[in-house]
């Protein structure tokens, strides 16, 4: 289900007005909106049983009417609160000159998390349970694990599954971090038990980096997605 900016292209030889600064998910539109803070939020269209709000209040109209379709920005079709529940002020402008900052994408984490729920859940690889089990085994033994090459659409499910498994086995919480295709898992209470081992392994890695010597042994906490899941 693609996310798109809803904008129409026009001939360059005539003056045109821009569409609203929205993104679309399927057949639904979300207005990029500003609140009292710096984050860019998302606001859904109003339901049939609620009164809608215009994208731009009358007293801000002069700042927008040169660039946007006035009829569109004054149409009262938007909910009164953002997806994350905040009252919003007006639509974010998408930059109408060289000195203005374009505001094309939401940055509110809560709005983005709620938007994610509108997408269908990814079809997980058949060996996903096996990978999650191996990661949980590694964390339970060493207090940490990192796995490289994880597809982006599997990362959220993997973090959730391993977190639940560690909680079930040990009663401890689990911190997870993702960077590009790498996902890192850390359980502090178990990790602290093996602190000396982790320090020693870290020192070996630093020595190998500066001396060019091969690492004596591969870290048991480093895993690769491709080892268990065929490309």
What pLDDT digit, counting tens, does each position of 50-73 carry?
Answer: 899 999 998 888 888 888 888 999
pLDDT confidence of residue 201: 66
Report the C-alpha gap between 96 and 84 in whole angstroms. 27
What pLDDT digit, counting tens, does each position of 86-116 carry?
Answer: 999 999 986 554 444 556 789 999 999 899 8
What pLDDT digit, counting tens, does each position of 177-212 carry?
Answer: 999 999 999 999 998 888 777 667 666 666 666 676
Q: Which of 116, 119, 115 is nearest to 41 (CA)?
A: 115
Is the pTM above the cut of 0.75? no
């Amino acid at each position: 289900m693609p996310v798109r900016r809803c904008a129409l292209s026009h001939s360059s030889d005539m003056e045109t007005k821009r569409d609203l600064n929205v993104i679309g998910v399927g057949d639904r539109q979300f207005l990029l909106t500003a609140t009292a803070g710096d984050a860019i939020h998302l606001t859904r269209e109003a339901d049939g049983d609620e009164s809608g709000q215009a994208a731009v209040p009358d007293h801000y109209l002069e700042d927008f009417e040169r660039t946007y379709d006035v009829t569109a920005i004054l149409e009262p079709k938007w909910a009164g609160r953002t997806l994350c529940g905040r009252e919003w002020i007006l639509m974010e402008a998408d930059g109408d000159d060289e000195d203005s900052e374009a505001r094309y994408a939401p940055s509110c984490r809560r709005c983005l998390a709620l938007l994610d729920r509108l997408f269908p859940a990814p079809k997980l690889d058949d060996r996903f349970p096996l990978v999650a089990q191996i990661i949980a085994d590694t964390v339970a033994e060493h207090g940490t694990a990192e796995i490289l090459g994880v597809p982006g659409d599997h990362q959220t499910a993997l973090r959730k599954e391993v977190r639940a498994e560690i909680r079930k086995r040990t009663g401890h919480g689990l911190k997870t971090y993702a960077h590009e295709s790498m996902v890192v898992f850390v359980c502090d209470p178990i990790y602290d038990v093996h602190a000396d081992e982790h320090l020693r392994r870290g020192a070996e890695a630093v020595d190998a980096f500066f001396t060019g010597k091969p690492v004596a042994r591969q870290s048991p906490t480093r895993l690769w997605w491709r080892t268990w899941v065929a490309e």
